[in-house]
Chains A and B, each alone.
Chain A
Amino acid sequence: MFENMQAIYLAIPLSCLFAAIVAGIFGRVIGRVGAHTITILGVATAFVLSIVVFRDVAAGNSFNGAIYTWAVSGGFPFEIGFLIDKLTATMMVVVTFVSFMVHIYSMGYMHEDAGYQRFFSYISLFTFAMLMLVMSNNFLQLFFGWEAVGLVSYLLIGFWFDRETAIFANLKAFLVNRVGDLGFLLGIACVFMYFGTLDYAAVFASAPGLVGETVSFFPGTEWNLFTVIGILLFIGAMGKSAQVPLHVWLPDSMEGPTPISALIHAATMVTAGIFMVARMSPLYELSETALSVIVIIGALTALLMALVGIVQNDIKRVVAYSTLSQLGYMTVALGVSAYSAAIFHLVTHAFFKALLFLAAGSVIIAMHHEQDMRKMGGLKNYMPITWFTALIGSLALAGVPPFAGFFSKDAIIEATHASHLFGSGFAYVAVTAGVFITALYSFRLMILTFHGNMRVDEHTRHHLKESPWTVWVPLLLLAIPSIFVGAIYMEDMLFGGFFGDAIQVRPEHDVLGQLAKEYHGATGWALLWAFFTHALKPGPLWLAIAGIAAAWFLYLEKPELPDRIRDRFRVAYDVLVRKYGFDEFYQLVFAGGARGLGRLFWKIGDVRLIDGAAVNGSARIIGWLSGVIRQVQSGYVYHYAFAMIIGVFLMMTWFLHR
C-alpha cells in the first residue's frame, strides 16, 4: 500500500505535466480534439487520484520524503520532495477539481480561438506547477512552484498577445510578483542561514530552539528572527495573493481569458500565499509582530478593495475586486491565528468564486465579448442556468446561510472578534463592514446583469441564448460544493482539528478553540444549529441581508439613485474609480524612475564618464589644465598683487587660528 501511494503522489502532478508537454509540443499534430482529450484525461486522472490521497490521509496516513536531490552545496543538500498531509490533500482536491471543471468549460469557451491547443497546454502546465507548490516538503520546491505558477499566469494573461492591454498587464503582473518574490527569496535565505536546511519538518522542529535569536539589518537594531522571516515570506504572499500594496496586478490580469481568471486568479494561484502562511504556522506562531502585520495588511485589502468593487462596471472586474477583498479576509484569518478558518474560506471561496467567474464568462460569450454591465440587464430569461448558478455563487459570497461562504466567513469574523492581537480590533471593523459592501456589489452585479431593463443592443439580443453544455455543466458541478461544502466540512475543518499537525496554534492564540467553547462542544446538527442561531443575533448576517436589500433598492427600485449618490460624493467616487491612485503612482515612480535612472546611468555614467573620460579624458584633462594655468599668467601686475594679498591673508588666518 505504501509503495503504491508514493507512485500515486508522483502520478498526480506528472499526469498534468505530461499532458501539457504533449499538447504544447505536438499541438499541431494531435489537433484540437487531441489536445483537449489528453489534457482533460491528465487532469481527471490527477483529480481522481487526489481523492484517493484525500481519503488516505483522512484515514490518518501521511507522507514526507524526498524524490531526488536537486543539488548539494557546502555539504547542505537541496531536495525535491513531497509532504502529504491533510492540508496538502485538501489543496490537491480543490486545485484538481477546479482545474478539471475549467478544462471542460474551456472546450466551450475557447472553441473559436486559434490558440486552442496552446491554451490547454498552459492550463495543464499550471495545474502541474500548482500541485508541485502545494505538495512540496521544502522551501526550495515551494519557490519553484511559486515562480512556475507565476510564469503560467504571465503566459495566460498575455494569451491574446496582440492586445496591447494584455501584454502590458502580463508584464506588470510578472514584475509586481517579482517584487514579492524578492522578499520571499530573502526569507528563504534567512531560513537557510539560521536553520541550515530548507526542509519544512526539520525547520519546524528546530524553530522553538531559536526563539530569542535576532537578526541585525542596521547596526544597533536587533530584530526577532521569526519576525524577520515571517515578514519576508509574507512579502512573497502579498505579491502572489495580491495584498495591498502589491495588489495592482490582479485587476489587470482580467485581460486573460475568463477560464483562467477562474482557475488562476480566483480559485488557486492567488491563494498560494494563504496556503504558504498556513503551512508556516509553526514559524508565524512565534512572532506576534509578523501576525499583526498580516492582520493589518489583510484588513486593509479586505475593506479597500471591496469598496472599489462597488464602482466597477466591467463584470469581470467586479469579481476580481471581490477576489482581492476575499483574499484579504483569508489573510486576516491567518493573522489572528485562525489558520484553519483561512484554509476553510480558501476552499469555499475556490468553489463559489470559480463559479462566479465562469458564470461571468458564460454571460460574456452570450454577449459576444461585451463585458460592460451597463449594456446588459434582464439576461435571466435568456440564460436561466447561468443566472441560477450565479445566484448561488453570489449568495455564498455574500455569506447567506446555508451556502458555503456563510460558514467560512462567519468563522473569520468571529475569530477576529475573539483575538487580542494588535490590529485585530481594526480588522474586526474592516471585515464586518466588508460584509455589507460584499453583499452590495455582488447583488449590484446580479441585478445589473440579469434583472431590470434590458440594455442589450438589438443585434446581440438576437443571438442571446444559454451557453452550450460544456459551459453550464461545470457551472452546475461547481454550484454543488458552493452550497454544501461549508455545512459539511465546517465542524471538521474549523473545530475538529482536521488539519492535525499540519497547522500549529499556540494556546494563547487559539481563537477557534475559544469559539468552539461558545458552542459548548456541540457537534453534528447541533453545532450547525448553534452556528445558525448565533448568526441570527445582530451581526454579519444582518449586514449581508442589508447589503442585498440596498442593492435591490438602489439598482432595481430606484435606478436613478446611484447616479445622484455618485454626484453627491464625487470626490469619494473619483478616489474609488482611480483605485486610490496606486497604478499612477507606481507607473510614475517605479516604472518611470527605473527608466530615468537607467538612461541617466547609461548616457552620463557609461557614455560620458567612462567612455568619454577613458578614451579621450586624459588628453582632454591635460589640455584643460594647461589652459587654466595659462589664464593665471595674465601679465597684469594687479592680478599678481591681488593674489599675494589673498595669500598673505590666508596664511595669517591660519597662523592665528592654529
Chain B
Amino acid sequence: MLLESVNLSVAIWLPILGAIAILASGSDANAQRVRWLSLIVAIAEFLITIPLYTRFDKTTAAMQFTEFHTWVPAFNINYSLGIDGIAMPLILLTSFLTIIVVISAWEIIKQRVAQYMAAFLIMEGLMIGVFSALDAILFYVFWEAMLIPMFLIIGIWGGPNRIYASIKFFLYTLLGSLLMLVGFIYLYYQSGNSFSILDYHQLPLALGAQILLFFGFFAAFAVKVPMFPVHTWLPDAHTEAPTGGSVILAAIMLKMGAYGFLRFNLPILPDASHELAGFMITLSLIAIVYIALVALVQEDMKRLIAYSSISHMGFVTLGFFIFNAQGVEGGIIQMISHGFISGALFLCVGVMYDRLHSRDIKDYGGVVHRMPIFAAFMMLFAMANAGLPATSGFVGEFLVIIGAFQANVWFAVAAGTTLVFGAAYTLWMYKRVIFGKIANEKVETLTDVTPREILFLALLAFAVLLMGVWPMPFLDVMHASVDNLLEHVAQSKLP
C-alpha cells in the first residue's frame, strides 16, 4: 500500500511539488481546476500524514521516521529529519488546517487563484519541514523560507494597510531569527562542528554561554509566539491578512515559536532555562492578563481574536517553564487546541467579512436573525475560546493551571483570571455582533452559511469537541517525549 511507505520527505515535498505544478499550469481562466487540484493535493497530503500518527510508537522518546542524507559535507550540514511525540501532532494539525484553508478560499479568492493556493501549499511543506528538521541549518532554512509565502499572502491578498503590516511582520521575525542563526554557529563550534540538534541536547555549556544563547533563541521564538512585549506585529498582520493567512498564522505559525522553546531552549539550555524561568513566567502571565484586558476593548473583530491568541499563547509558554508534566503537556495541548479554535474564529470573521466587508464590531448586531446556523457554530467556538469544558480550549488551560498551582499558587491565580477575562472579551464581542436587534440594513441582507462554509466549520467543530470530550488520543502520543524532555531539563549541563 502506498501509505505504508510514508516518509517525512514525501510529506514535506508533496505539497511543494504540487504547488509548482499548480503554478505552472494554472491561471485565473481555469480557476475551478486549480481549486480542485489544490484540494486534491491538500487531502492527499493529509492522508499521507495520518500514518505518522497510526504507526507512531508511543513508548519511545527517540526520533521516529528518521531520514539522513549529507547535504553540505564541508560544514557537516545534513538533510536530517525525524519527529517525536511533540512534533507529530503539530504536523497533523498543519495538514488538517491546510485542507480547511483551501476550502475556505474556494469562491472567495478570485484573483491569482493559482498563486494563492500555491503559496499555502508551499507554506504547508515548509512548516512540516520546520517540525521535522533535526539539523539546525535545515531548520533555519525552513524557518526563514516559510516567511516568504506568508509575506506574499499578506502583501498581495491583504487589506488596505497590507504593505505596512507585511513589512512589520517580516522585519520583526527576521531580526529575531538572525540572532538564532548566530546561536547555531556558536553551538557548531562548541560541539566540534556539528549542526545536529540532538547532539546539542548532550552538549555541556557554561551558564554564561547558556544565558546568551537563551536570549538569542528567545529573540527568534518569542517574536513568533508572540510573547509580550514583542507581540505588536501580530494584530497588524492578522487584521491585514486574508482569512486563510490569518488561519495559518494563528493556528500554525505561532506554534513554531513555542515548538522552538521545546526543541532548543529547554533541552539544550536547561540551566539557563531554570535561571530565567521567573522571567519567562512573568512575561507569560503578563501576556495572559494584560493582553486579555487589551483584547476586551478592541473594536475590530480580527484584532480582538489576534489579542486573544496572544493571551492564549501565554498559557503555552507558562506551561513550558513550570517544568512539570501537566504544565508542558497542557502547553502542547493548548497549542493544538488553539490551532483549531483561533482558526475557526478567524474563519467565522471571514464568513461575515465576505458578506459585509467590515470587521468592525459596531457594524454588526443581530446577525443571529439572519444567520442562525452560523451563530450556533460561532457560539461553540466562542465558548471554546472561553475555555468551556468539553471543548478543546479547556484541556490545555486546565492542565496548565493545575501544573502552575504546584509551582506557585499565584501563578495559578493569575493564569486563572482568563476564566473571567477570556469569557468577557469573547462573549461580549459575540453579544454585540450576533445577539440583539438587527443593527442596520446591511445586516438585514445577510444570508446564512453555504454548504461549503458549513463543511469547514463542521470539521473544526468536530475537532474542537472531540479533543474536549476525549483528549486522551492527543495526550497519549506525547507522554514519552515530554518525560524525556523533562529529564533533560532536570539535568544540569554545566561543565
Contact = CB atoms under 8 A, between A and B. Distances in A.
Interface of A: 68-76, 140, 143-144, 147-148, 151, 154-155, 158, 161-162, 164, 167, 171, 174-175, 178-179, 181-182, 185-186, 188-190, 192-193, 215-217, 594-595, 597-599, 601-602, 605-606, 610-611, 614
A162 B366 contact: yes
Contacts of B417: 182
A171 B293 contact: no
Interface residues of B, number: 55
Contacts of A161: 368, 434-436
B421 interface: yes
Given A594-B421, A601-B293, A606 B325 contact: no
A593 to B, nearest CB: 10
Given A72-B476, A73-B399, A602 B329 contact: no
B470 A189 contact: no
Given A148-B388, A601-B290, 6 more contacts: A70-B470, A158-B435, A174-B423, A185-B398, A602-B297, A610-B232
Interface of B: 229, 232, 290, 293-298, 324-326, 329-330, 366, 368-369, 379, 383, 388-390, 394-395, 398-399, 401-402, 404-406, 409-410, 412-413, 416-417, 419-421, 423-424, 427-428, 431, 434-437, 470-472, 475-476, 479
Given A71-B475, A182-B417, A175 B232 contact: no
Contact of B293 (A68, A167, A188, A598): A598
Contacts of B383: 151
B294 A601 contact: yes
B329 A74 contact: yes
Contacts of B409: 186, 215-217
B196 to A, nearest CB: 29
Contacts of B416: 182, 185-186
Given A151-B383, A610-B232, A598 B329 contact: no
28 contacts: A71-B395, A71-B475, A72-B475, A72-B476, A72-B479, A73-B329, A73-B475, A144-B390, A148-B388, A148-B390, A154-B427, A158-B435, A161-B368, A174-B427, A175-B424, A178-B419, A178-B423, A185-B416, A186-B401, A186-B405, A186-B413, A189-B406, A215-B409, A216-B409, A594-B421, A595-B297, A598-B293, A605-B294
A182 B419 contact: yes
Given A74-B326, A164-B436, A179-B420, A598 B405 contact: no
A610 B390 CA distance: 37
Nearest to A217: B409
Nearest to A192: B402
Interface centre among B229, B295, B417, B423 (most CB of A within 10 A): B423
A313 B284 CA distance: 49
A653 to B, nearest CB: 39
In the A-B complex, the 3 residue pairs with the smallest Cβ-Cβ separation, listed nearest first, are A74-B325, A189-B405, A598-B293
Given A144-B390, A598-B293, A601-B294, A74 B229 contact: no
Contacts of A162: 366, 369, 435-437
Contacts of B431: 167, 171
B326 A190 contact: no
Contacts of A167: 431, 435-436
Contacts of A181: 419
Contacts of A215: 409
B420 A178 contact: yes
Contacts of B324: 74
Contact of B472 (A72, A151, A154): A72
Contacts of A188: 402
Nearest to A143: B389
B435 to A, nearest CB: 4
A286 to B, nearest CB: 20
Contacts of B470: 68, 70
Contacts of B413: 182, 186
A192 B409 CA distance: 13
Contacts of B329: 73-74
Contact of B388 (A147, A186, A599, A605): A147
Contacts of A193: 402, 405-406
A131 to B, nearest CB: 14
Given A71-B471, A73-B330, A74-B329, A185 B294 contact: no
B420 A182 contact: yes
A71 B475 CA distance: 7
